[in-house]
Chain A
């Protein structure tokens, strides 16, 4: 995926545990892994696992029989299990993949780490800040690999984009702007009413942090990756604007995270309008990188051919809009910036309407890296630190919205990994 130790150290240190050279060393071995949680995302991981040569899915665990049966249909060679402790007590299993609802992440992860299993867990890290800290401390004190499915960290366009940002492509990073818009109620069909909370767990605060822990966590991680820092303050507002169907989590959030140096992340998510889609924009004083699309735009674009620049200038002057409020005022409409690709060749771009079956968004690469760690025992640098930081920011965002006030990053939850 990447070459050069300096590149890995400066941009994506976590890739150093899964270099092609290291992969070649383990190509005759297989990681024996079990899946805990076989819902839509779990089944997506099964498909990816079946394409990873150094992985063998030996067990699938779920307490919901419908999902378990569906998962076993995809991978009939795996053993079906109802209690995850059965998986953890099996000494032949190297690692577990946790794709359960958020509120189960911490307890299962802690049990798995204690059982000496390598762990790959879906984002976010945990439902509460205390759970996040407990998982982090447990990870630090045990010699097992722990991955969180922050797939952007393994997505080529993100890695190369961040590298170019750090190399000065857009000058000084002055801010970030991320949003994730969908137009869907986020509900899953429920076969009987008593299963509502089990199946639609994303909609209830007891089980989920809503848009923040399900969507924003990815994007906040990218912002911190680009900034090389963690925000110290957050303000925000959240509401149930449209989907007033008994849910408890917001369907509309708008937050501002502030770094100590004054830079800000403007974050917005709405699930009743998808016009703006999903974007992760890093704003520099010389340009803007849109990591989602894998492109960048320059403020003064000298890369555009001269003839085109000249014709654009003539066109702009010839067809300039007539000032509507006198000659001193003209609407400052968005300019037509020319996109330049961050990565040569074709890349996979996801509009963000569903990440369950997103192709080549880094999910397969991070899962492959985890399986490699199951064989080698090597931990991936910074993955846990990044997951901890972004999850904490999501939970702090929720706190700020619920309490209607500015929230500072609490001292007791700061870890050595974080730079403010």
Chain B
């Protein structure tokens, strides 16, 4: 069986993407607070929604990244 090596670089990249998703979700929350004239405290009180949105964004992004990787792998194989 072939060993799968997860490098530090890969972990760092995943952490950065996850953090990016969290920032994106919190930005959405900020946008919603401004759009619907809600109290600023929702930046904190809606953290549950923010985390769930971030996880969803991360998963969607993961699917997109897998698809892109798969397409690139096919293209490379055809080129060879």
Contacts and interface: CB of A to CB of B under 8 A. Distances in A.
A310 B31 contact: yes
B2 interface: no
A305 B28 CA distance: 12
B17 interface: no
Contacts of A304: 36
Contacts of B32: 305-307, 309-310
Contacts of A302: 36-38
Interface in A208-242: none
Given A302-B36, A306-B29, A306-B35, A311 B46 contact: no
B49 A307 contact: yes
A309 B36 contact: yes
Interface in A270-328: 302, 304-311
B33 interface: yes
Contacts of A308: 46, 49
A307 B37 CA distance: 11
User: What is the interface residue range for chain B against chain A?
Assistant: 10 to 19
Interface in A15-65: none
Contacts of A307: 28-29, 32-33, 42, 46, 49-50, 53
B8 to A, nearest CB: 34
Contacts of A310: 28, 31-32, 35-36
A129 B29 CA distance: 61
Contacts of B31: 310
Contacts of B49: 305, 307-308, 311
A405 to B, nearest CB: 51
A407 to B, nearest CB: 48
A302 B37 CA distance: 8
A307 to B, nearest CB: 4
B36 A311 contact: no
B45 interface: yes
15 contacts: A302-B36, A305-B38, A305-B42, A305-B45, A306-B32, A306-B33, A306-B34, A306-B35, A306-B42, A306-B46, A307-B46, A310-B28, A310-B31, A310-B36, A311-B53
Interface of B: 28-29, 31-38, 42, 45-46, 49-50, 53
| Interface of chain A: mostly helix, strand, loop or mixed | helix
A145 B59 CA distance: 69
A398 to B, nearest CB: 49
A311 B50 CA distance: 11
Given A305-B32, A311-B53, 19 more contacts: A302-B36, A302-B38, A304-B36, A305-B42, A305-B49, A306-B29, A306-B32, A306-B33, A306-B35, A307-B29, A307-B32, A307-B33, A307-B50, A308-B49, A309-B36, A310-B28, A310-B31, A310-B32, A310-B36
Nearest to A314: B28
B11 to A, nearest CB: 29
User: What is the interface residue range for chain A against chain B?
Assistant: under 10
A309 B53 CA distance: 13
Contacts of A305: 32, 38, 42, 45-46, 49
A270 B18 CA distance: 56
Contacts of A311: 49, 53
B69 to A, nearest CB: 26
A380 B31 CA distance: 54
B50 to A, nearest CB: 7
**A305, A307, A309, A310: most-surrounded residue (chain B CB, <10 A):** A307
Nearest to A303: B38
A126 to B, nearest CB: 53
A312 to B, nearest CB: 10
Contacts of B42: 305-307
Contacts of B35: 306, 310
Contacts of B38: 302, 305-306
A305 to B, nearest CB: 5
Contacts of B53: 307, 311
A49 to B, nearest CB: 47
Contacts of A306: 29, 32-36, 38, 42, 46
A364 B34 CA distance: 48
Contacts of B29: 306-307
B30 to A, nearest CB: 9
B42 to A, nearest CB: 5
A311 B31 CA distance: 12
Nearest to B25: A307
B53 to A, nearest CB: 7
Q: List the 3 closest A-B pairs by CB distance, nearest first.
A: A306-B32, A306-B38, A310-B32
